[in-house]
């Protein structure tokens, strides 16, 4: 087994998950409203979406599936529109709760398994990762199937652990004076990610 390459994969996955993006921000927002239980359900949803994308990537690697670029671009655009919609929801609630008072909470961005899955499956960052970056590490062992299983299990563990740590970090800030600014920042970044995703597809 190529330990160095595997460690590089681990570091790359952690950085990718922890980098501000739709999944990370949704988990943080859901956790701020519903606590760890709600954040956990959201993480399970995003994790399940990742498993589907990994499966598609494996099928492509094994030659069982070939994706049409136009179809893939359409999925990316629809995903970006949905992510932008969530971003505007968070922004609206952040400004609304700021006006009503510090004790106000998020009302519309609940998170949960379904929303976590929809964001995860339509996240342009994840689609690009599993379609291009993920296959670069399939040679960490001599056995392709074992490599794919190891990469998949590692992703699941790292995804769950990293997002849980992110939730805990955001949760500590939930009662601080920057609470509403934090939510507004999450919403704004989601909208920017969506706009950039659409721009990268169309231009």
Residue 68 and residue 175: Cα distance in Å, rounded? 47
Backbone CA torsion sign across 159, 164, 109, 20:
negative
From residue 51, give the alpha-carbon distance in Å to each of 35, 68, 130, 157: 25, 20, 10, 12
Residue 10 CB-half CA count within 13 A: 13
CB-based contact 5:147 (threshold 8 Å): no
Residue 2 and residue 8: Cα distance in Å, rounded? 10
pLDDT of residue 108: 41
Radius of gyration of the chain (CA): 18
CB-based contact 152:51 (threshold 8 Å): yes
H/E element holding 59? helix 22-61
* Per-residue pLDDT tens listing for the chain (203 residues): 888 888 888 887 887 777 667 787 788 777 776 777 888 888 899 889 888 888 887 887 777 767 677 776 776 687 678 778 777 877 887 777 655 554 444 444 567 888 888 888 877 666 666 666 667 777 888 888 898 889 889 988 998 898 888 878 777 766 667 667 777 777 787 788 778 778 877 87
Structure tokens at 61: 């690697």
């Amino acid at each position: 087994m190529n330990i160095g390459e595997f460690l590089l994969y681990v570091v790359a996955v952690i950085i990718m998950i922890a980098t501000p993006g739709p999944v990370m921000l949704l988990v943080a927002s859901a956790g701020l409203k519903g606590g760890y239980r709600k954040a956990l359900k959201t993480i399970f949803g995003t994790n399940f979406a990742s498993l589907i994308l990994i499966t598609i990537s494996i099928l492509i690697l094994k030659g069982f599936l070939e994706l049409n670029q136009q179809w893939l671009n359409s999925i990316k655009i629809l995903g970006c529109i949905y992510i932008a919609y969530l971003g505007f929801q968070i922004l609206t609630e952040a400004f609304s709760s700021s006006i009503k008072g510090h004790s106000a909470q998020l009302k519309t961005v609940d998170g949960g398994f379904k929303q976590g899955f929809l964001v995860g499956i339509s996240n342009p960052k994840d689609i690009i990762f599993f379609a291009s970056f993920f296959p670069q590490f399939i040679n960490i062992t001599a056995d392709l199937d074992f490599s794919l299983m190891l990469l998949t299990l590692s992703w699941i563990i790292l995804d769950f652990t990293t997002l849980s740590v992110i939730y805990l970090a955001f949760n500590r800030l939930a009662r601080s004076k920057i609470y509403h600014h934090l939510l507004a920042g999450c919403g704004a970044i989601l909208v920017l990610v969506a706009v950039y995703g659409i721009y990268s597809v169309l231009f």
